[in-house]
Chain A
Amino acid sequence: MDRGQNTGGLMSSAGLVRYFDSEDSNAIRIDPKTVIAFGVLLGVFVQLLTFVS
């Protein structure tokens, strides 16, 4: 079976960026929570600096 993103039966691909199952063991892993936390902190940080300036 094709182990690509289309593993969900015979469906078309959903997004512009394609993600496959196979990953390299060298790759740096990011937890999804880290992404969200980083986004929130970035927003708050920039907003705070705007208030300060």
Chain B
Amino acid sequence: MGWKEAAEPVLTRMPTVTRPDGHVPFKKKLGWTAGILVLYFFLTNITLLGIHPQGGEDLFGQFRSILAGEHGSLMQVGIGPIVTASIVLQLLGGANLLGLDTDDPRDQVLYQGLQKLLVIVMTALTALPMVFAGGFLPPADVLQLGSLTFVGTQIQTLMFIQIFIGGVLILYMDEVVSKWGVGSGVGLFIIAGVSQLLVSGFLSMSDEGFFYSWYQILFTNEVTAGSWLSREGFNTLFIADGGGQLLALATTLLIFGIVVYAESVRVEIPLSHARVKGARGRFPVKLIYASVLPMILVRAVQANIQFMGQILNSQWANMPAWLGEYSDGQVVGGFFYYTAPIYSPNDWMWWTGQVPAGIEVWQIFLRISVDLTFMVIGGAIFAIFWVETTNMGPKATAQQIQNSGMQIPGFRQNAGVVEKVMERYIPQVTVIGGALVGLLAVWANMLGTIGAVDGTGLLLAVSITYKLYEEIAEEQLMEMHPMMRQMFGKG
């Protein structure tokens, strides 16, 4: 008896959101998506019951904009558990250890159940150290609820329950968006967080606000730029926090430009219909074939290494220096320093004096090269796994083309032949695209963006928004021409 038979009773009974019967009108889809978005923002504003007013330090730290959610709220874990579970599934599925055939309905049910179970387990595993290990979510001294008094571990247990319920709710919110709305909940929550930071980065009436800083530079003397050509003036206008932030503005705009451009770069394989003469089509192999979602997974691997460092640091007083040195909650040396990604210009622009004291230039370069290697190779590997597990590989696409009655002009109409042609493009494009996105993510983080959004987060948000736009365009086409729905195979 394999693991499938043993786990079947549990996996098939995981609660699922009902599927709509038939087509959901576009307006309804938008309604569901907006509803979930409003609920998400509402829940990010609900503070955990029993948390110390000081709030503590966010375990997700700089990874918050990728992992969504809000520190100290019911949405504490964000999409972290979903991402971690997805990594596990990708690795198991990519290496073909699961033995699940996602074309078989029985295995599809098992896959879905396993996925859900993993997310729930990961929610508990993420929430546990957050609540019980050190200063991430300090409990209030005493909690009085009517005649009940809670102290210490009792409050922590209460907080754990709230975070756990919130985390599972995020999973179901994602499912509602995926089944009833547009795009996916995961994408929606990332976009929501990033846009919020970006807008406040432009409009905020503090030193971080882009427009406000320029008002200060041009009309008041609070920020003095000096000569434009001097070193200090350049630094103030381009790099410094609370300065002109021109570098951040340029990076932000460039990320938008590059992502939209890269989304449109593609190799198009011509197709013609075997029976209907004149019916032609193209199969696009996009440069970013595996989409940018694998990038979340690579970043999340880095994030998990950093969480481990933070948790070790909070639990282990005499942690050896080669493993990690921390000052003010920031890692400044050892293994965990070199494996930490570059988050912002302040992490590496040693000439601005913002880099923590005592870090040598060679150390910074070592950290950049580790980050770069990790992201480029990791990006390529996860892109390959992604393509395999989402049925976008040569074999699966060849079968899809075959089934739709199309063929490549000049070749025999045979799935094997189409697969051979696909094999010339898909694997190469996947690897190049994955590595390229990895490179872009490191670059975006190094130069920083407006509102101190994590560069990778912005990259993800722009790409997801672009995909969403494409999906909405397709939806509207189908609304207007119901015949198209049949062509696209949607009931």
A residues neighboring B (CB under 8 Å): 1-24, 26-32, 35-36, 38-40, 42-43, 46-47, 49-50, 52-53
Contact = CB atoms under 8 A, between A and B. Distances in A.
Contact of A8 (B105, B119, B396, B474): B474
Interface stretch (B124-132, B182-190, B213-221): B182-190
A17 B174 contact: yes
A14 B42 contact: no
A29 B403 CA distance: 32
Nearest to A9: B488
B112 A19 contact: yes
A15 B43 contact: no
A40 B144 contact: no
B392 to A, nearest CB: 6
Nearest to B140: A53
B431 interface: no
Given A23-B109, A26-B13, A46-B48, A16 B162 contact: no
A30 B17 contact: yes
Give the top 6 A-B pairs by smallest Cβ distance, nearest first. Answer: A15-B184, A22-B105, A20-B108, A24-B12, A28-B15, A13-B390
B293 interface: yes
B291 interface: yes
A49 B49 contact: yes
**Main SS of the interface on chain B?**
helix
Interface string B480-491: 000000001110
Contacts of A29: 15-18
B345 interface: no
A22 to B, nearest CB: 4
Nearest to A20: B108
Given A36-B35, A52-B145, A53-B144, 18 more contacts: A1-B489, A2-B403, A15-B178, A15-B187, A16-B293, A17-B86, A18-B111, A22-B108, A22-B109, A24-B113, A27-B13, A28-B13, A28-B15, A30-B18, A32-B180, A36-B176, A43-B42, A46-B48
21 contacts: A2-B391, A2-B396, A8-B489, A12-B289, A15-B174, A15-B183, A15-B184, A17-B115, A20-B108, A22-B109, A23-B16, A23-B112, A29-B17, A29-B18, A30-B16, A35-B169, A39-B42, A40-B39, A42-B43, A46-B48, A53-B144
Contacts of B404: 1
B74 interface: yes
A46 B49 contact: yes
B86 to A, nearest CB: 5
Nearest to A14: B184
A31 B144 CA distance: 35
Contact of A2 (B103, B112, B145, B471): B103
B176 A35 contact: yes
Nearest to A12: B291
B262 interface: no
Given A32-B18, A46-B49, A39 B173 contact: yes
Interface of B: 12-19, 32, 35-36, 39, 42-43, 46-50, 74, 79, 82-83, 86, 102-103, 105-106, 108-109, 111-113, 115, 119, 143-146, 162, 165-166, 169, 171-176, 178-180, 183-187, 283, 289-291, 293, 296, 390-392, 396-397, 399-401, 403-404, 467, 471, 474, 488-490
B115 A27 contact: no
Given A8-B488, A17-B86, A24-B109, A42 B169 contact: yes
A53 to B, nearest CB: 6
Contact of A1 (B49, B108, B400): B400
Contacts of B103: 2, 4
A2 B119 CA distance: 25
Given A30-B16, A39-B169, A16 B176 contact: no
A45 to B, nearest CB: 9
A27 B116 CA distance: 12
Contacts of A7: 488-490
A26 B144 CA distance: 42
Contact of B36 (A2, A3, A9, A36): A36
A39 B43 CA distance: 8
B145 A17 contact: no
Given A16-B293, A35-B173, A43-B74, A28 B184 contact: no
A15 to B, nearest CB: 3
